[in-house]
């Protein structure tokens, strides 16, 4: 008799537990009822937002001295002369429409706000800058080797920040270099 009572009690507990679990469902096409908050919808970290509780940025920063799988660090960081000497444009002289079109597209998106669509340093935001961006049609820039221009896009120079995270494909950066060379060939020396 005692055994039957324990089995009945266990059955009743399981039945009530099953009802409780079914009761957490809001029904067809309804949101579920959360017994424990933040289990289904967790608070998302917003990049560039400050976390006042921890007094640091919310973005997840990788541990120090780690390198993601498949990532190759840029070997000429803060070394423009070595970059100019060692980097060789794999698309040098490539005047194919596809390369120039890609270079123009990337240039118009990332470079023209400061350098202008004609690369003369007269972009829409240049008028608000205390130090104007350089004219890429100048004699000085024309003397740069392709590797130097690629390095400036990748690592930045002066007030210009690096664009290696925005223009993350090497081929796109080289396409921009080719497009700048194309503009220089169409424009007289200034």
Query: What pLDDT score does 35 carry?
Result: 64
Whether 20 has a pLDDT exceeding 70, the answer reads no
* Residue pair 78/155 in contact by the 8 Å Cβ criterion: yes
Residues 6+ apart with CB under 8 A from 137: 118, 119, 120, 183, 184, 187, 189, 190
User: Could you tell me the domains of the chain?
Assistant: 80-186 (1.10.760.10)
For 169-186, write each residue's pLDDT tens digit. 999 999 999 999 999 999
pLDDT per position as a tens digit, 43-92: 665 666 666 666 766 666 666 777 777 777 889 999 999 999 999 999 88
- What is the mean predicted confidence (pLDDT) over 142-151? 95
Instruction: Please give the model's pTM, rounded to 2 decimal places.
Output: 0.66
The helix/strand count (H/E) of the chain reads as 7, 2
Averaged over 117-137, what is the pLDDT? 94
């Amino acid at each position: 008799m005692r055994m039957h009572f324990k089995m009945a009690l266990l059955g009743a507990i399981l039945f009530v537990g099953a009802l409780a679990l079914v009761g957490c469902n809001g029904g067809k096409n309804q949101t579920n009822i959360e017994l424990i908050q933040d289990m289904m919808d967790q608070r998302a970290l917003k990049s560039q937002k400050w976390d006042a509780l921890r007094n640091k940025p919310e973005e997840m920063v990788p541990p120090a001295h780690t390198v993601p799988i498949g990532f190759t660090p840029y070997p000429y960081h803060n070394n423009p002369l070595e970059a100019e000497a060692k980097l060789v444009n794999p698309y040098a002289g490539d005047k194919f429409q596809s390369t120039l079109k890609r270079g123009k597209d990337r240039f118009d998106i990332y470079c023209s706000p400061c350098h202008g669509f004609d690369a003369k340093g007269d972009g829409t935001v240049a008028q608000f800058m205390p130090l104007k961006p350089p004219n890429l049609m100048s004699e000085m820039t024309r003397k740069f080797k392709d590797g130097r221009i690629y390095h400036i896009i990748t690592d930045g120079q002066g007030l210009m920040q690096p664009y290696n995270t925005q223009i993350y494909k090497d081929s796109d950066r080289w396409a921009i270099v080719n497009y700048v060379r194309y503009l220089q060939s169409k424009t007289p020396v200034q």
